[in-house]
Structure 1
Amino acid sequence: MPSSAGKPPADSTAAQLDAIAAELYALPPEEFTEARNARAATADRAIAASVKALRKPTASAWAVDLLARDGQLAEALQLAGALREAQDDLDAAELGRLSRQRRQLVAALATQAVGLARDRGVAVSPAARADVEKTINAAVMDAAAAAAVMTGRLVRPLEASGFDAVDVSDAVGGSMPGVPDAPAPTRDDLAERRARKAAERALREAERAAGEADRQLAGIEAKLDKSRERGDLLRERLEDLRSELARLEADAEKADRETARLEDEQKDAAAKARSATRDAERARESLK
């Protein structure tokens, strides 16, 4: 049996290669090839060939690597878990909300990645920016893609296509981290989660309906207060008008009595005038 004395364990070799790859992929892409060749020349014989085989990253992959090393992908990967749970639960409303949040977050992270690259003196073309967005979106949608991105050693962009697994083959310089299999939810677990989601939706709907009912009640009570106030004002006005009417009726009766008295006086005066006129005519006749 051949001796393995002096030969580093396989996992140690992979760790060394990954450490060297992480250093190299932190460099701007135009510096990568020269630095890689120099590092391969001084590396242990066990990994020298592997170092030499490391591929230069594309501009989009390097920008995503910057974002991963900067620690700004944690929120996106938290969203990834929530998205997968919503898919498992078949919660369309929650899935729609998370999908909108995902698109906004992916676009914002892509802008940050391009900004980090620009700060390092590397311009990212519009086409490369599109690849940055696709890669971040793939990391959100797929656990294996997320693991590849989080190494900070990505060499090519990734893309999620429908519900198929993202192709991460040859996407990482160095070793590809394993993705632990998540335990498949049991029927009881799914039923419990769906029941909880249904109860939460029912609670939200009940709270919304209660809030709407409270708003309607407040509006009606406000209108009722105004109506009562108007009724009180109208009743006060009506009392004033009744008092005024009674006064006017009394004045009218008084005016009627005065009119009757004056009419009687007018009749007497008219009779006296007629009598005086006749007396005056007889007096004139006697003078002729």
Structure 2
Amino acid sequence: MLHADDVIQRLYEAPPDGFVAARAEAIAAARQAGDREAAKRLAALKKPTVAAWVVNLVALRRPDLIEELVELSTALRAAQRELRGDQLRELSTQRRQFVASLVAAARKLATGAGAGAAKLPLGDVEATFTAALAEPEIAGQVRTGRLIRAVSHSGFGEVPRPRLRLVTDSPEDASFSSPDTSEGPDTDARELTVAEQRSREREHQAERRSRELERELNAATAAERRADRQLERAEDAEREAGHLVEDLDAELAELERRRTEAVADVARRKTARRTAEREAAEARRRVGDVQAALDDLHR
């Protein structure tokens, strides 16, 4: 039997429609070889979605492309942290081009492995590569070649949300005293002061509204993250239930095969018993005939 890691790589390289049967075969081989640890590892493997399988193909057969992805991801995050606009735009262009080349390579590998090009979920594949560029953790998962589902990323990189420089509601900022008419009868100056006051009032209103929207945005973002986590948990639970059904189906198929073999063995043994009964009866008859001949001889 191959080493467990080699078997796992072979399982994740093969199209997912044959994953369950191949896993059951590998588990049986490991148990027959007495390798209980390998059998346990293999039993814990999950069937990948088609999109995850396509990404795994790139990681397993073109690891050089994944290394380029990691390097570009590092450069993008560095540019974002330092807010280098020109470099960031250039790297963003490279990102789009590189993701397109990754998807093209993935499509070629998948069709070469026997998958129909029209049925490939290339949108999910692209989303996974884009997420890997944005988040080191996802890039690390992609690098293993053992994804079980596609992933996505709502934003890109580590660019922090802009912090608004707001004017506080301090007495100094909020003091809009009426112009002192005793300083002079200049009507134009008074009108200008009123206009400035109204302008500052509008600015304060805009700033308050900005703070309100910022709070609403933060709350909505937190709610979105909670919903995403809940969705992921629901998807994981659904997937686990699906894997359990697949495992039980495989076990039922194995039990049905063994039952068929057992029924056939019972039939063979029944035939052998009947043959033995006939032979025993024939032997008894012959014993009787010989005994009778001896009795006649001694009379």
TM superposition score normalised by structure 2: 0.47
The structure where helix makes up a greater share of residues is 2
When Rg is computed on C-alpha atoms for both structures, the one with the higher figure is 1
